[in-house]
Amino acid sequence: MKFCADPSPLSVSAIQSALGLCSLGRDMHIHDEVLSTNTMALALVDSGANHGTIVLAEQQTAGRGRWGRSWFSPPKKNLYCSVILKEVYPKDRLSWIPLITGLAITQAIEELANLRPSLKWPNDILVGDRKLGGVLCESTPQGTRRRAIVVGFGINVNSRIEEFPEDLHLSSTTLAAETGRLYDRNHLAARILSNLEVHYERLRSQSLQEVRGPYLASCSTIGRQICIRLVNGEDIKGLALDIGRDGALRLAPSIEFPHAQKSSKEVMEIRSGEVVHVR
């Protein structure tokens, strides 16, 4: 990726000219400061925004992560972006949306930064064991007139680790920290969005293998011993075997896992959870 000594501000024209004919990003809103780009995007859906509308911000004051966590979002350094997807078919591939977003991000970083991040299922972007980015998908409430999915992603681009809250120093990383360079966020955003468009079109119209193969190639969870915390707070240990057709993680539970003793040969299909790679 182009070295940049003084990274440019986010710019609609810079991103759109790099996007070319991409249908994502024809409508684009860039804000200096928002609570959360996902919150802004959900409000835009309500007021009739088009499929592919993008919300970006230089800073978030209440950026949200998965599991009710906050997302550290300092000004002018990193990427905070939300994409409105209104045409998500077929419905049984919905769970692949966050997965292909993670894939689009890792591929863009590989293309531009000479770095090979991996994906921790479902959609954490890692370098080694440190987190470089994450994806948060939210949908409009059931029963609302205008339904859509908002795909939000945050990537630590130009921040220094010392700027992060202390409790994140060991678990987070940034593109600049990994490579010793600063990056143009407009290029990065455009590359992610055009990759996302390709995967999204494949997901809609082609064999699932077209997205599943590349996802598995980037996923560092499969083949590892993991511990997964389920939504109900329960922890399960086991071997991550595969990703199912519906995007679920297929896990062979360890025999010490009490529920597994009854049916230790049974593979579990996990649709949501927080994974820790054990070894």
Region of 36-44, 176-184, 209-217, 257-265 interacting with ligand BTN (CB under 6 A): 36-44
CB 113 within 8 A of CB 179: yes
**Closest distance to ligand BTN from the beta carbon of 126 (Å):** 11
Residue 94 tokens read as: 């919905």
Which of 80/200 has CB closer to ligand BTN?
A: 80
How many Cα atoms sit within 13 Å of 252 on the Cβ side? 8
Q: Examine residue 77 and tell whether it contacts ligand BTN (CB under 6 A).
A: no
Which of 124/178 has CB closer to ligand BTN?
A: 124
Q: Examine residue 74 and tell whether it contacts ligand BTN (CB under 6 A).
A: no
Q: Examine residue 250 and tell whether it contacts ligand BTN (CB under 6 A).
A: no
Tell me the number of residues near ligand BTN by CB under 6 A: 20
Site for ligand BTN in 79-118 (CB under 6 A): 80-82
Q: Examine residue 65 and tell whether it contacts ligand BTN (CB under 6 A).
A: yes
**Closest distance to ligand BTN from the beta carbon of 193 (Å):** 13
Site for ligand BTN in 148-177 (CB under 6 A): 152-154
- Cα(252)–Cα(256) distance, rounded to whole angstroms? 12
Residue 88 tokens read as: 């998500």
Region of 58-66, 111-119, 186-194, 240-248 interacting with ligand BTN (CB under 6 A): 58-66
Which of 65/244 has CB closer to ligand BTN?
A: 65
Q: Examine residue 37 and tell whether it contacts ligand BTN (CB under 6 A).
A: yes
- Cα(57)–Cα(206) distance, rounded to whole angstroms? 33
**Closest distance to ligand BTN from the beta carbon of 121 (Å):** 12
Among 71, 96, 164, 183, binds ligand BTN (CB under 6 A): 71
Task: List residues binding ligand BTN (CB under 6 A).
Answer: 36-38, 60, 63-66, 69, 71, 80-82, 124, 134-136, 152-154
